[in-house]
Homo-oligomer: A and B are copies of this chain.
Amino acid sequence: MNSQQANMEELNTLYLGDCLTEMRKIRPNSIDLIYLDPPFFTEKKHSLKNRDGSTTFSFNDIWGDQESYALFLHERLLVMRDLLSDTGSIFVHCDKSANHIVRALLDAVFGAENFQSEIIWHYKRWSNAKKGLLPSHQNIYFFSKTKNFKFRKVFTAYSDATNLDQILQRRTRNKDNKSVYARDANGKIEIGDAKQGVPLNDVWDIPYLNPKAKERVGYPTQKPLLLLDRIIELVTDEDDVVLDPFCGSGTSCVAAKLLKRRYLGIDQSEDAINLAQSRLQAPVKTDSALLTKGRDSFAKQDSVILECLKGLAFNPVNRNQGIDAILIEQFENTPVLVKVQKSDETLAEAATRLLKAASKKGSKRVFLVQTLIDLNDLPPSRDNIDMIVIQTPSVQIQARSLA
């Protein structure tokens, strides 16, 4: 860290130190989102070893009384308020140990009128030792600086029990001022505007970090990337600035980086800063893969490529860039190859790979399944290979809709 710096203008950096002093170097009104995961007032010392056992990360969460905890948080929240831009928001993570204290402090600093939501992060856990209910949630308080806060509406699927047919119908009021469905002159039901889905609610069911997850870096109380992902997307745009004053292993910074936001992280522990630093450099790729996978499974859209070929008699081919399946029935005594376009390749790339494989296998007929809309030209065929491009239903529907 360059001590010459008048303020922390340099973004995408991690700073070592107490956030109270470090934050004072940041320009007021310059931050779009503050996420913080401070000590929870558990009255315990938390420590955990990393995978190879070389480093033990720990932090102290023993305070003796509520007042010292409240004081600690309060003076820091006051600084945070100044840093936040007028369209900015703050998300404070805590749990049952002190959520009422945190909420009261936030009310005092940001004003009860700027309270937006109590988000419940719900996860499943495996344990049954204790008398009582199994704790399986944490609380996140969402406050905005002003009522003019930035918010990007997110929509989710309708409930399975919802009668979607009816949702489409336009509403009106009858002569008794009662809300009813609108009908035209012929008594036929009128259809209303397009529906986008159900607005995201305040209870988030996101899996806790699996003990064996690759994502796990050995830092105690590490949060899932998916949680931060969602928070960041909710209240920031690209290039906005995210500050995490208790960044720990740097999950929020990693999420910000993956989502093309700028970030600032602060932590008191040198070990934590080093860990976060290294996470931000190399493993962004693995994090990115995890995020994609997480999002997919979240949306329940995980799919098998071969689903496209369901109903056909074929042998699946694994670990071959050019081929996904070979049909059991041959064409003019040559194997019929099938390739499905992957989400990270253009149709032209897929075609080139398929043609190369076909040439090698001496195939006379191959099928390329297009899974993404793409208007570029295909490479010319070669070796008299008959390449037939077919489209998945969604591509066909999209093509028609665009027309």
Contact = CB atoms under 8 A, between A and B. Distances in A.
A323 B132 CA distance: 46
Nearest to A134: B201
Contacts of A100: 99-101, 103-104, 107
B388 A194 contact: no
A202 B306 contact: no
A401 interface: yes
A50 to B, nearest CB: 16
A121 to B, nearest CB: 10
Contact of A331 (B133, B331, B401): B401
Given A104-B104, A203-B136, A334-B191, A310 B304 contact: yes
Interface string A196-225: 111111110000000000000000000000
A181 to B, nearest CB: 13
A326 B193 CA distance: 12
Contact of A134 (B120, B130, B202, B334): B202
A392 interface: yes
A362 B191 CA distance: 7
A378 interface: no
A335 B401 contact: no
B133 A200 contact: yes
Interface in A114-145: 115-120, 122, 124-125, 127-128, 130-137, 139, 142
Contacts of A308: 307, 392-394
Contacts of A330: 193-194
Contacts of A306: 300-301, 303
A280 interface: no
Interface stretch (A8-16, A153-161, A241-249): A153-161
Contact of A310 (B128, B301, B361): B301
B201 A135 contact: yes
A385 interface: no
A93 B127 CA distance: 26
Interface string A76-115: 0000000000000000000010011101100100000001
Interface string A230-259: 000010000000000000000000000000
Interface string A366-403: 01010110000000000000001011111111101100
A125 B158 CA distance: 11
A126 B196 CA distance: 14
Interface string A307-342: 111111001111010010011111101111010100
A189 B361 CA distance: 8
A72 interface: no
B104 A118 contact: no
A45 interface: no
Contact of A198 (B132, B134, B300, B401): B134
A175 interface: no
Given A199-B127, A199-B130, A191 B159 contact: no
Given A115-B96, A194-B335, A392-B393, A315 B200 contact: no
A309 B362 CA distance: 34
A200 B134 contact: yes
